[in-house]
Amino acid sequence: MAETETSGFVGRLHWSDILVIVLYFLFVIVVGLWAAKKSKRDSLGGYFLASRSMHFTLVGASLFASNIGSGHFIGLAGSGAANGIGVAVFELNAIFVLMMLGWLFIPVYIAAGVFTMPEYLRKRFGGQRIRVYLSVLALLLYVFTKISADLYAGAIFIEQSLHWNLYASTAILLLIAALFTITGGLTAVIWTDTLQTIIMIVGAFALMILAFVEVGGYENAISLYFNSIANSTVYSGSTCGMPPANSMHMIRSATDGDYPWPGMFFGLTISSVWYWCSDQVIVQRVLAAKNLSHAKAGCIFAGYLKILPLFLLVFPGMIARIIFPDDVGCSDPDYCEELCGSRSSCSNIAYPRLVLHLMPNAARGLMMAVMMSALMSSLTSIFNSSSTIFTVDVWTRMRKNASEMEQLIVGRLFVIVLVVVGILWIPVIQASKGSQLFVYIQSITSYLAPPVCAVYVLAIFWKRTNEPGAFWGLMAGLVVGLIRFAWEFSYTSPDCGAPDLRPAIITKMHYLHFGILLFGISVIVTVIVSLLTKPIPEEHLYRLTFWSRKSEKERIDISEAEDANELELKDTYNSTDRTNGSHTPVVRQPSYKRLPWWKKLINFVCGIKTDEERALEPVLTQAQIAEQEKQGNSIYEERKARLANNINAVILMAAAVFLWGFYA
What ranges in 359-466 are assigned the alpha helix state H?
363-389, 396-398, 404-424, 426-431, 437-461
Residue 47: its pLDDT value, please? 42
Identify the pLDDT of residue 377: 64
Among candidate residues 134, 144, 164, 191, the one with its CA nearest the CA of residue 422: 144
Work out the number of other CB atoms within 10 angstroms of the CB of residue 614.
12
pLDDT tens for each residue of 80-114:
998 999 999 999 999 999 999 999 999 999 999 88
Query: Residue 3: its pLDDT value, please?
Result: 41
**Cβ-proximal residues to 391 (8 Å cutoff; 6+ apart), any chain:** 48, 407, 408, 410, 411, 414
Rounded Cα–Cα distance for residues 101 and 277 (Å): 5
- In the chain, how many H helices and how many E strands? 34, 2
DSSP assignment of 321-361: HHH-HHHHT---HHHHHHHHS-SS--GGGHHHHHHHHHPPT
- At a CB cut-off of 8 Å and minimum separation 6, what does 513 contact? 260, 262, 263, 267
**Secondary structure class of 289 (helix, strand, coil):** strand
**Coil, strand or helix: which one is 288?**
coil
Q: Radius of gyration over alpha carbons of the chain, in Å?
A: 26
Q: Which residues, 6+ apart, have CB-to-CB distance to 453 below 8 Å?
A: 270, 271, 273, 274, 277, 278, 519
Cα 653-656-662 angle, rounded to 5 deg: 140
Q: Are 163 and 28 in contact (CB under 8 A)?
A: no
Q: What's the pLDDT score for residue 418?
A: 75
Q: Is 400 helix (H, G, I), strand (E, B) or coil?
A: coil
CATH number of 23-555+635-662: 1.20.1730.10
DSSP sequence for 203-257: HHHHHHHHHHHHHTSHHHHHHHHTT---HHHHHHT--TTPPPTTTT-SSB-TT-S
Tell me which amino acid residue 506 is: I
Domain boundaries defined on the chain: 23-555+635-662
Of the candidates 174, 111, 178, the residue with the CA atom closest to the CA atom of residue 413: 178
Angle of the 166-215 helix axis to the 350-358 helix axis, nearest 10: 70
C-alpha dihedral, 366 to 372 to 377 to 382, nearest 10°: 170
Task: Please state the φ and ψ torsions of residue 54, each to the nearest 5 degrees.
Answer: -85, 135
Parts of the chain with a pLDDT under 70? 1-12, 28-29, 31-33, 35-53, 70, 162-193, 232-240, 341, 372-374, 376-378, 380-381, 422-423, 425-437, 493, 495-498, 559-633
Q: What is the pLDDT of residue 169?
A: 65
- Calpha distance 303→653 (Å, rounded): 9
Q: So what's the pLDDT on residue 572? A: 47
| CA–CA distance, 347 with 433 (Å, rounded to integer) | 12
Helix (H) or strand (E) holding 9: strand 9-10
Structural element, H or E, at residue 10: strand 9-10
Question: What pLDDT shows up at residue 625?
Answer: 46
